[in-house]
Amino acid sequence: MLVYKFGGASVSTIVNIKNAGEILRTQPNNHPVLTVVSAIGKTTNALENVAHAYYSQDIQQALDYFEIIKQQHLNIAKDLLTNELINCQNQLLDFFTEVEWLLHDKPVRHFDYYYDQIVCIGELLSTSIFSHYLTEAGIENTWVDVRDILRTNDNFREAVLDWDYSAQQVEQQILPLFQDSKIVVTQGFIGSTTDNESTTFGREGSDYTGAIFANLLNAESLTIWKDVPSVMNADPKQFDFATPLPVLSYDEVIEMAFYGAQIIHPKTIKPIHDKEIPLLVKCFLDPALPGTVISKIKTKIDTPVVILKENQALIKFQSKTYDFVGEQAVSELYLLMKKLFIKPNMTQIGAINFTGVYDHISDKVQQLALEAENLFDVQITQGLQMLTIRHYQPQIIDTLTSGKQILLTQKTNETIQFLMQ
């Protein structure tokens, strides 16, 4: 058994969808393949706009945004399909109707609930088109609504999987399907609660879905098909010295993801690590390229691995009373962070202050600062960069920090980090 995950880019055009189909058709040894697919291109972002417009009760705007998404999917289906077109259109129309009904209701629950009910459609649409395309191309497959398989709690937008229940469903519902066809197509990123409400695993969560299935099916490997040749030691859009890393250990990848490398969703590693399932990162544009193999084998890395995170905010929490910032004050701060679902990327504790560095992506930083003002004097510095270098060497540190003002440095034998301006 193999698990393949196709990302949004790999189904974003007619050419790419056909190409993904060829990858399935020509996969060696004719293995059964559980195929997890993301939403097409930037559909999830577009659906987020629908959700926001709906929640602020700008219904016309929400419908207008949704209309664009509908047309895009119908157009792709029309360009791609002939025999299967009507079947596919009917399935797409059912999903459209589900969302449109919801858009006409007044929101009475919290935003995250509606977000998941609307945004989950992206993967249902993409898999419907993909599965019908495979059928039309003579590649036998079965489409599955993953919400019947992966059960989660109701922590909308950051749902937690019920492993035992989901394992049972995989056993009872997924495994028998492979008797009829070698390929099962299902959605990444989404699941459902006991009450059949849709949930999502957090942005970019389809990788995680791939890892869940690999774990539950005891797959031979999980392959993530991307538009890059392999995992690299730096983001090639940011650094021209970026080079491929052909082999990596789970430990290295989990660290890279933790420090902010945009390679694989951080939650992906644990489910495959626990069963020692190798993770292959391959390029869908050229499947012959070797890509990257990630496994338990620890290899020595000679190339520095560089991760640059923009848009960082530093918050300095200073004791109001000149008392030490001890375990009491620190635990209160962490409780506050837990309440706001905000996680520091870097921390430092001094005698009378605590410093935290955070992604400045929403109003959460402001909220944290505001709520902490009862306890501390608070000072925020915005617009910073966090540079992390693993397996660092003096020369690369000099190159990457030259001309920068360093606000904070942290160093272990393996990793050095700079907060810079």
Map the footprint of Mg ion across residues 338-377, applying CB under 5 A: none
> Residue 133 or 189: which CB sits closer to ligand ASP?
189
Choose among Mg ion, ligand ASP, none what residue 357 binds, the Cβ cut-off being 5 to 8 Å by kind. Answer: none
> Residue 130 or 392: which CB sits closer to Mg ion?
130
Choose among Mg ion, ligand ASP, none what residue 210 binds, the Cβ cut-off being 5 to 8 Å by kind. Answer: none
Choose among ligand ASP, Mg ion, none what residue 189 binds, the Cβ cut-off being 5 to 8 Å by kind. Answer: ligand ASP
The SS3 assignment for 182 reads: coil
CB of 69 to ligand ASP, least distance (A): 13
- Taking residue 279's Cβ as centre, other Cβ atoms within 10 Å add up to 27
Phi/psi at 134 (5° precision)? -60, -45
* Total chain residues near Mg ion (CB under 5 A): 3
Choose among ligand ASP, Mg ion, none what residue 21 binds, the Cβ cut-off being 5 to 8 Å by kind. Answer: none
The dihedral formed by the CA atoms of 351, 352, 357 and 363, expressed in degrees to the nearest 10: 160
> Residue 31 or 157: which CB sits closer to ligand ASP?
157
CB of 8 to Mg ion, least distance (A): 4
Residue 317 falls in which region: left (phi positive, over 0), alpha (psi -120 to 50) or beta? beta
C-alpha distance from residue 223 to each of 2, 5, 34 (Å): 8, 6, 10
Nearest residue to ligand ASP on Cβ basis: 206
- Taking residue 338's Cβ as centre, other Cβ atoms within 10 Å add up to 10
Interface residue with Mg ion among 38, 128, 166, 186 (CB under 5 A) is 38
CB of 114 to ligand ASP, least distance (A): 17
Q: Give the span between the Cα atoms of 134 and 201, in whole angstroms.
A: 27
The SS3 assignment for 223 reads: strand
Rounded to 10 deg, the angle between the 121-136 and 111-119 helix axes is: 10
CA 371 to the chain's CA centroid: 29
| Helices (H), ranges, 306-382 | 327-340, 364-372
Interaction site with ligand ASP (CB under 6 A): 7-8, 38-39, 44, 122, 188-189, 203-206
The answer to the question of residue 7 lying near Mg ion (CB under 5 A) is: yes
Which amino acid is located at 11 in the chain? V
The answer to the question of residue 205 lying near Mg ion (CB under 5 A) is: no
> Residue 204 or 359: which CB sits closer to Mg ion?
204
The answer to the question of residue 188 lying near Mg ion (CB under 5 A) is: no
* Residues engaged in binding Mg ion (CB under 5 A): 7-8, 38
